[in-house]
Amino acid sequence: MTAPPNIAKLRVAYQGEPGAFSQTAARQLLGDDAATIPFRSFEEMFQSVAAGDADCCVTPIENSLAGSIHRNYDLLLSSGLAILGETYLRIVHNLIAPPGTTLGDVRRVYSHPVALAQCGRFLRQHPEMEPEPMHDTAGAVRAVMERKQSGEAAIASEAAANIYGGVILATNVEDDPQNFTRFFLLAPPSASIRPLTEPSAQRWKTSLLLEIANTPGSLYRALGVFATANIDLSKIESRPIPGKPREYAFYLDVIGNVADAAIAQAIEQLRADADSVTVLGSYATSW
């Protein structure tokens, strides 16, 4: 896909360094022609969209091992951005070193501590390799490739190996092959950005934030609205509301588009009972 001339590239912000899993997710959602802009923190990434320095951003929102990232839900809520798309990325970790290094040479392995922990079995099988924490998986590859010191390697994505010219000495070094991260494409609600995942999608998902008083049966009654309309749920998660110990917020993902009459009607019914209902977005899903 080539951008037509005279049309500015789509600018998509992500957290991490080039080669980060978030950058791969951004490419999966928007293609290789989008300009991906790295930010050190999630706060700065959201800020760049608010300031108009980026058109949209791609953020991890949950992981099959680590769970939902509440902090990123909070940033999404306070940003006022809408979810325009989702994608799932299998997290494959690789041992990456400068060309010429062999597996037997490696003595120090640099990566983010979460990635090092996810590769515990491989590292235990190689007690000669000392794990060394870094801020970022892709940043670890960059550092190792810049220094080119003998015995140094990094654990990161294949994309990071390609960007920095590293060689993959071992692949699938993660303990658990069921390691998936879900990413959201976020933009101002008025944006006309359409992700590549849309045309092939069979159905739509709508993400909601629901706040209700925590009395026995209150959630049951709320879910009844969807059950009677035959609307399927793909996610439900309670989250305590800071400072309101007996009230809860719920993240709900339902199958359908908010433009569908059944979904719109269910949300209207929900509003009658709930303290608040926030529609975070409707987007194509391959789920």
Rounded to 5 degrees, φ, ψ at 106 are -70, 130
Positions 59 through 88 that interact with its own copies (CB under 8 A): 62-71, 74
Q: Which is nearer to its own copies, 11 or 235 (CB)?
A: 235
The site for its own copies, by CB under 8 A, has a size of 51
How far is the CA of 106 from the CAs of 55, 73, 114, 201, in angstroms?
A: 42, 39, 20, 43
Structure token digits, residue 204: 């739509």
Which member of 39, 46, 122, 183 is catalytic? 183
Positions 163 through 192 that interact with its own copies (CB under 8 A): 178
Using CB under 8 A, pick the residue from 134, 156, 185, 210 that binds its own copies: 134
Q: Which is nearer to its own copies, 89 or 187 (CB)?
A: 89
Looking at residue 270, its amino acid is L
Q: Is 181 one of the annotated active-site residues of the chain?
A: yes
Q: Is 250 one of the annotated active-site residues of the chain?
A: no
Is residue 50 a contact point for its own copies (CB under 8 A)?
A: no
Q: Which is nearer to its own copies, 80 or 177 (CB)?
A: 177
Which member of 36, 59, 101, 181 is catalytic? 181
Is residue 224 a contact point for its own copies (CB under 8 A)?
A: yes
Please state the closest distance from residue 236 (CB atom) to its own copies, in A.
5
Please state the closest distance from residue 65 (CB atom) to its own copies, in A.
4
Using CB under 8 A, pick the residue from 147, 236, 268, 276 that binds its own copies: 236
Using CB under 8 A, pick the residue from 27, 112, 126, 142 that binds its own copies: 112
Q: 25-44 mask for its own copies (x: CB under 8 A)?
A: ----------------x-x-
Is residue 223 a contact point for its own copies (CB under 8 A)?
A: yes
Q: Candidates 57-65, 76-84, 142-150, 193-201: pick the segment binding its own copies (CB under 8 A).
A: 57-65
Structure token digits, residue 160: 């990071």
Catalytically annotated residues: 181, 183
Q: Which residues bind its own copies (CB under 8 A)?
A: 41, 43, 62-71, 74, 112-114, 116-117, 120, 131, 133-135, 178, 214-217, 219-221, 223-224, 226-228, 230-238, 240, 242-243, 245, 250, 287
